Structures are given as structure tokens and as C-alpha cells.
Amino acid sequence: MKPASKKKMLINIILYALNALFCVVFIVPLYFAIVNSLNSLFGAPVVIPKYFEYINYYYAVTLIPFMRYLKNSIMIVGTALGLSLIFNFMYGYAFARLPARGSKLLFNLTLAQMMIPAFAIQIPQYIFFSQLGVRDTLWIWVLNGVAGTPFIIFMYRQYLYQIPREIEDAAIIDGCNYFNIIYHIFLPVSKTIIAVAMFYEFIAHWGDYMTPFMYLTEKNYPLSIALFGLKYVLPQNPSLQMTPVLNAAALLLSVPVFIVFILCQNQLVEGVVTGSVKG
């Protein structure tokens, strides 16, 4: 075997070993969460349970007003996703296709926001929303959605910038206005990158803990807070540790993420590849 081939084989072995290590790091916590969600409330954490206690999932959705918190989560995520699709796409389109004086500076300022840690603006944002009187309402997500997400705007801008301008010019000659151009031309050809952006936004808002915790009261909590911020208490035994139920609740919170990923994985892969090539 040639030295170059030996070196390549050694590199491949190291890469596969690292991939296997990363898989173990991510899979082991998930495995223990699944196993211990099926463990007895009266037993210690185990590696392989002798009996499966499916009642823990029943407790996870009945010991708290689960459906109310689920409705709150759907309203928050639905509002955020809808506004993200409309406004982020329009901002990206404007930066990519409508050059104007100062647009490059404004785009650079938008990118600069990506370098600011989220916690650095939490206090000013909290004061601002409090002065507006929109605490404990969906207006928090409406205003954030209208303001846009810098990373998503950047993705759209980079993708739309590469589309040939002749297509747009032909549509203008045919009498289309900018909204018709966006709806009939740019949206259909941007489905893959939109899927990536929507998945990113879904993950960010579905599992968001800090924003709802800062602005909402208990009755308006989403699942991301309610399942862990509220204490599970078994009426028959109030002092009982409910760790298996918490594991079950964590898995229930993850189910929509897995479902969305499985349904959209082809579009996500295509969108990432297309975006990287066009960007």
C-alpha cells in the first residue's frame, strides 16, 4: 500500500472514530431520558428497566393543564413563523433586488446584529416592551417578527441575489408589480431555503425558555416553561420525586421537533446545499 493511501486511510479512521464519539455523546442522554421516562416513580434511575411504566406520560399531560399550554405554544410559534415568512423574506428581497442609497450600510448594520449576544439586549428590550404595555401578550412576538431575524434575512438575501435579473425584468415588462413578482416568481423558486428558515425559526421558538419566562405570566406559559417551570405533584403522594415524569415531559416537548424534521428533511438538505452553493 502506498504511503499516500495509508495516510488517507488513517485520516478516514480518525474521522469515523470522531463521528462515532459525537454520536455517542448525543445518543446516550437521549437513551437515558427514554429509559427513565418509562421507569417506576418509586425506583432509582436504571440503564435497562425491568418494567415499562407508560403511565408517566399520562401524568405528564394530566397533572398540569397540558392542552392550555400546548395552545399557547402553538399560538406563539404560529405567530412567529407567519411573520418571519412575510417580513424576513421581504427584507431579504429588498436587500437583494432593490438597491438604494444606504442599502448596503443598512444591510451591514443588520449583519452586525448577529455579533451581539442575545442576553446583551434583554434588559433594554424588557424595558422597551414594558413601556409599550405589551407584556404578557402575543405582541412581544409580533413586534419581534416585524423587526426580523438578521440571520434569516441574510440567508434570503444571499439566495435571492443569485437569481437572474432578466426574470424579474421580464415580469415587470409584463405588468407585474413587486408583490406579484415576489408571490409568483421568487417564492416558488425559494421553497427550499424557506424550509430551512422556517425550521430554524420553529426550533428557536418552540424550545425558547427565556423570552416567555421574562414576559408571560403562568396562564400564558408555553410548554417549554410549563413542563419544567411548574412542579408536578402526585395527589396521592405529594412528596414523591417525579423525575420519570419530567423525562416523559421532555420527550413530549421534543416530539414536534422530530416530526417536523422527518417531514421536511429532504427540503432541509436541499435548502442547505442550494444555499451554500448560491451564497
Give, rounded to a whole angstrom, the gap between the first and last alpha carbons of the chain: 40
pLDDT confidence of residue 275 = 53
pLDDT confidence of residue 196 = 87
Per-residue tens of pLDDT for the chain, all 279 residues: 566 677 778 888 888 899 889 888 888 888 888 888 888 887 777 777 777 888 889 988 888 888 899 999 999 999 999 999 899 999 999 999 888 888 889 999 988 988 888 888 888 999 999 999 998 999 999 999 998 899 999 999 988 888 888 888 888 888 888 788 888 888 888 888 888 899 889 999 998 888 999 999 888 999 988 887 777 777 777 777 788 888 888 899 889 988 888 887 777 777 666 555 554
Taking CA atoms, 129 is separated from 121, 142, 206, 211, in Å, by: 12, 12, 21, 12
Place of cell 495516510: 7
Comparing C-alpha atoms, which of 261, 251, 225 is closest to residue 73? 225
How many C-beta atoms surround the C-beta of residue 197 within 10 A? 26
pLDDT confidence of residue 12 = 84
Q: Does domain 64-231 have CATH number 3.40.710.10?
A: no
- In total, the chain counts a number of residues equal to 279
Q: Are residues 220 and 136 in contact, defined by beta-carbon separation less than 8 angstroms? A: yes
pLDDT confidence of residue 127 = 92
